[in-house]
Amino acid sequence: MIRETIEDVGFQANKLSEEEMHHEKSSQVCRIQVNGMTCTSCSTTLESALQVIPGVQKARVALATQEAEICYDPKIVECNQLLEAIGNTGFEGILISTGGDSSQILLKVDGVDTENCVKLIQNSLLAIQGVQEIDFDLQLKKLSVSYTADVTGPRDFIRAIESTESGCFKACIFPQGREREEHRQHEIRQYHKAFIWSLVFTIPVVFTSMVFMYIPGLKDVLETKVANMLTVGQVLRWALSTPVQFIIGQKFYVGAYVALSHGYANMDVLIALGTNAAYFYSVYSVLRAATSPTFKASDFFETSSMLISFILLGKYLEVLARGKTSEAIAKLMDLAPKTATLLTLDDKGNVVNEEEVDSRLIQKNDVIKTIPGSKVACDGLVIRGQSHINESMITGESRPVTRKTGDMVIGGTLNENGVLHIKATRVGSETALSQIVRLVESAQMAKAPVQRFADHISKYFVPIVIALSFCTWVSWFLAGTFNAYPRTWIPSSMDSFELALQFGISVMVVACPCALGLATPTAIMVGTGVGASLGVLIKGGQALESAQEVNCIVFDKTGTLTIGKPMVVNTRIFKTMVPQEFYELIAAAEGNSDHPLAKAIVEYAKKLRGSEENLAWPEASDFESITGHGVKAIICNKEVILGNKSLMVEQGIAIPVEAEEALAETEGQAQTGILVSIDKELIGVLSVSDLLKPEAPEVISILKSMNVESMIVTGDNWGTANAIAKQVGIERKNVVAEAKPEQKAEKVKELQDLGKVVAMVGDGVNDSPALVAADVGIAIGAGTDIAIEAADIVLMKSSLKDVITAIDLSKKTFQRIHLNYFWALGYNLLGIPIAAGVLFPSTHFRLPPWIAGAAMAASSVSVVCSSLLLKNYKKPKKLNTLDLQGITVE
């Protein structure tokens, strides 16, 4: 039965043998914050190291978010082993979430000092039904509890901990989720402090080498000999630049050592080599001057100090800017209220106590009071009260919606004018808000295929740059040694070796792998964040990249082009039969289906019943749902079949002429005709109408102007499908009707075979095979969970206008990515030759190492800032015109 149901909606299903089930891999996804990554080389190396761990099925490491997302088999490898592997690669890993099937809560427990205390707490918690796993970090006083949310919750754990025999433990929610922001702020403070201290030492170095040498009196003091040709100025510069090189610049040495010890080269290697070359040549030069009565030293202490200072400034600005790319997630997380009013009810449902609690302590089936002006604390069911709820922060729909007893509400939305009592149905990570945050986080982790270009370059970038730097130095040195250029080219303060060395150092420090590595992920982070704020949830870079190439969109009809709330508008009964009895039978059959048409029929039958209290329908046996066609069941010993014409033909039921005429008339009015058969005899025809979404015709028109072809593929009849197509402006040749779920997927593949990039827009279970098959699956937010899961893009407002927004945003995002690559590549392709001195023979222009370092730092910041400009994205003007015409989503 289960396999048949799966196959009915268009998927293949086979039963696994016992052996296959035993060996079938389970999978779990964990997210880990990674500290210490500086460029794409770091992220690609870590990704490769994680991929080879037995049990790891997939690993993604994002430089922009400083996070790793790992899909693994918990039977083979544990999170602690993954953290250890990250540590062995030279980075620090902090677990964010494990992503297991059970709910998990982190508690901070004060008063725990020994292992005996830990055992006492573990025993208390394990005695609670529903607790599955406990892990205690004694150093951080952090308790992790995995549990079944339907059975127990965090308040039970706190109560159990605080009521232990000793009575000296205090528990509260662990401040989880702040680690990332705290680390970012710590990183900002570190770079800021390092930059300020580097300025303290670098400014005097610069002044003693470039300014004071031209001031009479100071010049004489600085040129005073200390030992042989060694001067006071050289000693001062050496003393001031040494702390900058080895204390303030220690971070670059550590990063370079970690990278080289693990077999790869990163940006830290380039910085360490470049600054060391300048510093140690200067040390050699002043030591030689100190031991020689004739050698006049030239030092580059200001070069190494200024290099480190400018790079620290660039890093500081980059971390500041990079934090702004993930503001969308922070804003989403801030939607949840900090506290909630918990009600205690007696057996009669009367309130006996009110208590303000941390909203993270809410458990399933708790009753929460929400007053006007406050936010709804969790997803739940209204059991008392009526109010208007502003859901714009979740769905993007600006108009408040009425919520009364029996309606569902979403956590994070704003209660405007009434008091509501809400029974919690989904809490913690299960809430709609948490799932949206998780989806956006996952999207920002996902790499677009275009990112592979940067990853490929990063493998060879640093070694090539080092080779180019060495070749530059050797070429200029040999040219100077063999007098290949006039001596007048050499600045008065240098010799040919020093000039060659400056060119080599400039090449090494001007190259920037960071700009390439940040070009794609920062744009995707901002793009998906902007989409989320507009009610368009885009599941990662792959979806963005495919959406901007879409040239054909396939629309489902019901719930997609139409509002999705069908109503029975006409009934024709061809035999003598009381309408109430007729609807009694068909409602009993359709009551077992969750199809929108079935629900419309049941609602109409309830209205015919009038005000009867007992609305139970006769029992249906042998119920069968034929996906895309209809239903059949045995009701009161009668075989009742409801469905389309093809179902009746399949079942061998004759369709009289009057029924054919009624069906044709119904379909001609863009209504759905449902045939009703009782005991193999066609009894009647129901006409069900589903209003067209008001924005649909204009959206199709705008898509035409964008050279995007539109099609309708529906399970409904041809007459209705053609009538709807005519209303929205889709050509008759682009209509496919009476399509089963697998036929929808086949049509998508057929279009792909013609070379089209296809997007599928749907909302139902029967659309999910086509959503998966399409290059881009777009699910209507009001649709089924299966459709939303199968899709690449989710339209939270259920508005067709957002199909255009999704395509336009993806195009703008990729234009920004291409601009970022153009800048990053152009910078390196132009900067490296200029730093190598190609312009020097003709213009005498050269790039001093400290300017090269400043340019390198600026390139990364500029790429991040370029991506941040996406935050100014506005919807296409054509959509604004639609709004002005008063066309809105119902």
Annotated catalytic residues are 556
Q: Which CA distances in Å does 524 have to 40, 43, 327, 768? A: 16, 17, 13, 26
Using alpha carbons, list the distances in angstroms from residue 369 to 385, 423, 431, 714: 10, 9, 18, 44
Q: How far lies 366's CA from each of 150, 355, 429, 433, in Å? A: 11, 12, 16, 18
The DSSP line for 32-86 is EEEE---SHHHHHHHHHHHHTSTTEEEEEEETTTTEEEEEE-TTT--HHHHHHHH
Residues 60 and 68: beta-carbon distance below 8 Å = yes
**H-only helix segments in 148-224:** 154-162, 179-206, 218-222
Instruction: Give the torsion sign (CA, 163, 167, 169, 171).
Output: positive
Close Cβ partners of 568 (under 8 Å, ≥ 6 residues apart):
600, 601, 603, 604, 686, 687, 688
Q: How far apart are CA 695 and CA 699, in angstroms?
A: 6
CA 58, 758, 866, 177 dihedral sign is negative
Two tokens, residue 473: 């130095």
In Å, how far are 50, 53, 569, 697 from 58, measured between CA atoms? 8, 10, 52, 43
Contact 464, 470 (CB under 8 A): no
User: Which residues are registered as beta bridge partners of 402?
Assistant: 388
Q: Cα–Cα distance between 806 and 283 in angstroms, integer?
A: 59
> Which helix (DSSP H) or strand (DSSP E) does residue 875 occupy?
none
CA distances from 792 to 116, 393, 397, 440, 543 (A): 50, 21, 21, 12, 6
Query: HSE (CB half, 13 Å, CA atoms) of 694?
Result: 8
Handedness of CA 396, 397, 402, 406 (dihedral sign): negative
Between β-strands 339-345 and 225-227, what pairing exists: parallel, antiparallel or unpaired? unpaired
Return the amino acid letter for 362: I
Residue 838's H or E segment, with its range, is none
Tell me if 416 sits within 8 A of 389, measured CB to CB.
Answer: yes
Residue among 714, 687, 740, 735 at smallest CA distance from 560? 714
Of 180, 439, 217, 139, residue with least CA distance to 323: 180
CB atoms under 10 Å from CB of 751, counted, come to 22
Task: List Cβ neighbours of 110 (8 Å cut-off, separation of 6 or more).
Answer: 141, 169, 170, 171
**Cα separation of 562 and 551, whole Å?**
22
| Cβ contact 794:788 at 8 Å | yes
Strand partners, 136: 143
**Other CB atoms closer than 10 Å to residue 570's CB: what's the count?**
15
CA-only gyration radius of the chain, Å: 35
Residue 67 CB contacts under 8 Å (≥ 6 apart), including other chains: 31, 32, 33, 34, 61, 96, 180, 445
Backbone dihedral region of 729: left (phi > 0), alpha (psi from -120 to 50 degrees) or beta?
Answer: left
- In whole angstroms, give the CA distance from residue 585 to residue 678: 9
